[in-house]
Chain A
Amino acid sequence: MFTQRNQEHHHLFMESQINRMSMQLNRRKFLVLGSATAGSILLKSCASPTPTGGEASGGAAGGGGDTIKVGILHSLSGTMAISETTVVEAEQLAIKEINAAGGVLGKQIEAIVEDGASDWPTFNEKAIKLIDQDKVVTVFGCWTSASRKAVKDTFETKDHQLWYPVQYEGQECSKNIFYTGAAPNQQIEPAVDWLLENKGKEFFLVGSDYVFPRTANTIIKAQLEAKGGATKGEDYLPLGGTEVTPIINKIKTEMPDGGVIFNSLNGDSNVAFFKQLQAAEMGPDKYPVMSVSIAEEEVRQIGKEFLVGHYASWNYFQTVESPENAKWVADFKKEYGDDRVTNDPMEAAYILVYLWKQAVEKAGTTDIPAVRAAAYGQTFAAPEGKVTMQPNHHISKTVRIGQIRDDGLFDIVFSTPGPVDPLPWNQYVADTKGFACDWSDPAKGEKFKA
């Protein structure tokens, strides 16, 4: 096909150029190339101070190269950028606050920000770059489980440390990762229990096609079976996919009289799902959707008119009433604008910077094994309430369920009385039932029979 078109256009090319001298053609080329180069210079120079470079966040007060370098590794572009850029902002806010209060061990923190570009191999490349080239003392990063799995080996073989701020599917307990988001028993399981009690026994599971939704749904199916619920179907959309018609019709066929939809779609697919769910007139009264990846920021971007009345399960909502939260929300808005919202992963990202700082101060060094040992038992009065780092590298957190209201924030309809201890190995899945994790005891480690 190419050769055919090639010839066809060769005629055109000859004809249109026949009267022009080749000199002119060269000048034209120069012109095109020249303007393109100038354009790219412009693009660079005029880019507003977005958080893409280390200089955007480094505390200038330190100076003299006397800084502690930390890595920030999230997607600033691609399908996950919608969520991950907000986490970067939260981490940078925490770093800025710590620097303003004098830094860590008397030194300023310098953040090196790298873009994982929503592409899992890129995450690994950038992780290697941060560790080997920039010699950072720790890395805050990743959102999707796929990206975390992509860098896990690197952190383990180099015995480095990753701090991971997002709720995830569990079934993992790496020595080289601290998880400050919820384990399944701190988000998914309480949500399923609450739905069974309040919303019905029939579930349809929808998720993006990668490791978190698949594992989460395995857990949910096991839990439903144990508690007398029914899984009426499950379906997966490719990450970033927007064609949800088959899924919506399947839900209608399987649950004609309504039922619970458990949604672990991630990123842009949520927009298509909720827009078309509403177009099919499947409202929250008959088809309540419980989401585990939709927080305040996503509500804003999907459009609250599509979401009002649906539910989400998190450890933190902007509407949590506590002095710590009031202060944090005010500080965040002051830094990034009054129209901004705070959400769970952002809060978890904010927590992890402080937990790392406390661990470094307790250890008196940035040496990785010492910081790791010092991290166990660290507590922090977080916006969500008190959190404690456990020897299994996860933190105790309060669990909440919120219903989306007209202003795009959440009405907290359920909340555990206190922090729930994390269980990385799931107790509903046969393979991991009865196992636990404890890195403070060398004999126990990643996975041992409790």
Chain B
Amino acid sequence: MILQGIFDVLFNGLSIGSVLLIAALGLAIVFGLMGVINLAHGELMMLGAYTTFVVQNALKSLGEPLFGAYIFVALIAAFGVAAAVGLLLERQVIRYLYGRPLETLLATWGVSLILRQFVRSVSGSMALSIALFSLLFWGGQWLLQRRPDWEQLRGRALAILLPLSGAIATLTGVVLNSNKAIAKPWFSARNIDVTAPAWLRGGVSFGSFQFPTARLFIIVLTALCLLGTYWFLQKSAWGLRIRAVTQNRDMSACLGIPTDRVDALTFAIGSGLAGVAGCAVTLLGSVGPNLGTGYIVDAFMVVVVGGVGKLVGSVVAAIAIGTLTYLLGSGSVPLWMTQLQLSEALKPLFDFFTFFSTTSMAKVMVFVVIITFLQIKPAGLFPQKGRTVET
């Protein structure tokens, strides 16, 4: 009985932990390796989830059993979309803010609000307006850049281009809005329905154990992402460069590593992994504009507890937090105590665990444990050693 209980806790801890880990993996790279506090990480997950929705609807016409494989297409698409948005974010916003964590924090929080509102209100007319604005503004600049006196012109050109293209785009948007079909929001503020393929909806039984397929899928997916990330960082040429830049940026630059491109690549990969996580969590919960807010705190918690800068730390932390959450929330401890006939002997302890055995109280207890842990080991489970720590 007890053995089965322990196995039960281990499996479910692993399954909760794997969700935490896949959500935190991208952040472990962006925050851990680059030191960027990216509060828009959750929204990158949300974009991954919405990509899954779009892919699902696009492939619905294929019919079963081909449709059942849409999730693999969605995983790749989600990685691509989130990585592209991440790349844009890094190039346009974050790279100007390196070394200024507080500004980064505010800017990425702003980006997260923009992304959330964007999926709520994006419609055909809005997308067209934005495309038109980009075309006029960036295209105009590109044309003007060919002039030899561009450097002198620049200030004036921007002052004219910006309001002009803004006004034209706005006007187009207003005109297009009169057409109801184009003005209809694509997703609206409502949650959307992402249906897991039929083969991921049931469960697999081994004897008296029962494993939900979706959970098994996420565990495998997390393991694959982890292996992929590990292989990329440890074995590939770009991985080597990323690690070099993380350890000593100046020296890497001196040795000819293009740190600028390394930053962009690292951020894009971290964002892409967030997209994959977003696709994975559609199997479990609801998909809406606020999907990310539910995961961002947990993701930071995992990275901080694991020790910033260490992938292995995030893995251990995610599984530990998952197991602890399940152990407390499922009421396993009082159950075992009853089975071992300890509930009377250790009455206060029994009452304590019974009190914390609802899901919301377990969450409180997990946070208390984490805060206590960080008091003892402020740098997390696997503190980073080496030169950068001392400087």
Contacts and interface: CB of A to CB of B under 8 A. Distances in A.
Are A and B bound to each other?
yes
Interface of A: 1-2, 4-13, 15-16, 27-32, 34-35, 38-43, 45-50, 76-79, 81-82, 85, 209, 234-238, 240-247, 249-250, 253, 268, 270-272, 275-276, 278-281, 300-303, 305
Given A6-B101, A48-B185, 6 more contacts: A43-B114, A43-B126, A46-B174, A243-B16, A249-B326, A275-B196
Given A1-B308, A15-B250, A9 B360 contact: no
A240 B213 CA distance: 23
Given A209-B360, A236-B359, A48 B285 contact: no
B101 A76 contact: no
Interface stretch (B57-65, B66-74, B90-98, B222-230): B90-98
Closest 7 CB pairs of A and B: A9-B99, A279-B212, A271-B286, A246-B329, A242-B285, A46-B126, A46-B173
B241 interface: no
Contacts of B250: 11-12, 15
Contacts of B389: 4
Contacts of B360: 209, 236-238, 241
B363 interface: yes
A243 B249 contact: no
A59 B344 CA distance: 69
B284 interface: yes
A324 to B, nearest CB: 27
Given A11-B250, A41-B166, A235-B358, A16 B184 contact: no
A225 B77 CA distance: 53
B234 interface: no
B372 interface: no
B201 A279 contact: yes
A46 B294 contact: no
Contacts of A240: 290, 293-294
B350 interface: no
Contact of A302 (B155, B193, B212): B193
Contacts, number: 226
Interface residues of B, number: 86
B15 to A, nearest CB: 6
Given A246-B359, A249-B12, A48 B98 contact: no
B330 A250 contact: yes
A50 B185 contact: yes
25 contacts: A2-B102, A8-B249, A12-B259, A13-B98, A13-B99, A15-B250, A35-B162, A39-B130, A42-B126, A43-B126, A46-B125, A46-B170, A50-B189, A209-B360, A240-B290, A241-B294, A271-B286, A272-B286, A275-B214, A275-B283, A276-B284, A279-B202, A281-B203, A302-B193, A303-B195
B260 interface: yes
A79 B289 CA distance: 9
A4 B391 contact: yes
Nearest to B127: A46
Nearest to B166: A38
A1 B170 CA distance: 44
Contact of A81 (B129, B158, B189): B189
Contacts of B253: 15
Contacts of B325: 243, 246
B260 A16 contact: yes
B343 interface: no
A341 B98 CA distance: 49
Given A35-B137, A243-B359, A271-B286, A46 B203 contact: no
Interface in B313-357: 325-326, 329-331, 335
Contact of B170 (A41, A49, A278, A279): A41
A249 B332 CA distance: 10
B170 A34 contact: no
Interface centre among B188, B285, B326, B363 (most CB of A within 10 A): B285
B24 interface: no
Given A7-B391, A281-B210, A48 B191 contact: no
Given A246-B326, A246-B359, A275-B285, A253 B203 contact: no
B388 A47 contact: no
B238 interface: no
A273 to B, nearest CB: 9
B192 interface: yes
Contacts of B210: 280-281
A238 B114 contact: no
Interface of B: 8, 12, 15-16, 19, 35, 92-93, 96, 98-102, 114, 117-118, 120-121, 123, 125-126, 129-130, 133, 137, 154-155, 158, 162, 165-166, 169-170, 173-174, 177, 183-185, 188-196, 201-203, 210, 212-215, 249-250, 253, 259-260, 281, 283-286, 288, 290, 293-294, 308, 325-326, 329-331, 335, 358-360, 362-363, 388-389, 391
Contact of A303 (B15, B133, B193): B193
Contacts of A42: 126, 129-130, 133, 166, 169-170, 173
A270 to B, nearest CB: 8
Nearest to A85: B189
Q: Per DSSP, are chain B's interface residues mostly helix, strand or loop, or mixed?
A: helix
Contacts of A82: 190-191, 286, 288
B243 to A, nearest CB: 15
Contacts of B173: 42, 45-46
B284 A46 contact: no
A48 B177 CA distance: 7
A39 B114 contact: yes
A49 to B, nearest CB: 7
Nearest to B190: A82
B358 A38 contact: no
A326 B290 CA distance: 35
Contacts of B120: 77
B15 A279 contact: no
A411 B8 CA distance: 38
B249 A15 contact: yes
B359 A237 contact: yes
Given A76-B189, A268-B286, A303-B193, A30 B158 contact: yes
Contacts of A301: 190-193, 286
B107 to A, nearest CB: 9
A284 B232 CA distance: 46
B260 A279 contact: no
Nearest to A210: B360
B234 to A, nearest CB: 22
A5 B359 contact: no
Which of B98, B158, B308 is most buried by chain A, counting CB atoms within 10 A of its CB?
Answer: B98
B133 A38 contact: yes
Contacts of A272: 284-286
B49 to A, nearest CB: 12
B35 A9 contact: yes
Contacts of A76: 189
Nearest to A273: B285
A48 B123 contact: yes
A327 to B, nearest CB: 24
A90 to B, nearest CB: 15
A50 B121 contact: yes
A32 B335 contact: no
Nearest to B328: A246
A78 B290 contact: yes
Contact of B359 (A41, A238, A302): A238
Contacts of B184: 48
A11 B249 contact: yes
Nearest to B189: A81
Contact of A279 (B185, B194, B214, B329): B214
